[in-house]
């Protein structure tokens, strides 16, 4: 975890040495391309929620999110949607807004 020491130094967080001693591996892989991001979005949204694939495709091309961020965007959109709204409409409407807020918060 090459970024972990710098993240610890930048943020005043106490992490037990016992926890850090259990990290034995580093995995490096490229961020997903737009096709992979679209597939991840579809997988996290699920089959029960109908979302316009064109809107998902636009979102996948516009924002370069990794898999964890895509999962978080879908999860947050579902949490923010009103219970009385059909899941497809509310989740679909919130996905771009949540994704852009996440993307904006990453930029320095």
DSSP, residue by residue, 11-59: TT----HHHHTT-------PPP-HHHHHHHHHHHH-SSS---HHHHHHH
Q: Tell me the pLDDT tens digit for each residue of 1-48.
A: 456 666 556 655 566 677 777 777 778 888 899 999 999 988 988 877
Which two tokens mark 18? 């016992």
Q: Are 35 and 42 in contact (CB under 8 A)?
A: no
Q: Which residue has the higher pLDDT, 96 or 4?
A: 96
Ordered domains of the chain (ranges, CATH): 31-106 (1.10.8)
Instruction: For helices 53-62 and 34-45, give the axis angle rounded to 10 degrees.
Output: 130
DSSP, residue by residue, 51-74: --HHHHHHHHHH----HHHHHHHH
Q: Tell me the pLDDT tens digit for each residue of 43-81.
A: 988 877 777 788 888 888 988 888 999 999 888 887 887
Question: What is the pTM (predicted TM-score) of this model?
Answer: 0.64
């Amino acid at each position: 975890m090459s970024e972990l020491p710098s993240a610890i130094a930048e943020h005043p967080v106490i992490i037990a040495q016992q926890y850090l001693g259990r990290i034995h591996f580093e995995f490096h892989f490229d961020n997903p391309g737009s096709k992979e991001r679209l597939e991840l979005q579809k997988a996290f949204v699920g089959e029960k929620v109908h979302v316009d694939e064109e809107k998902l495709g636009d979102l996948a091309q516009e924002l370069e999110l990794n898999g964890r961020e895509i999962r978080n965007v879908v999860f947050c959109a579902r949490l923010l949607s009103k219970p009385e709204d059909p899941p497809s409409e509310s989740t679909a409407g919130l996905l771009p807004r949540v994704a852009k807020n996440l993307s904006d918060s990453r930029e320095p």
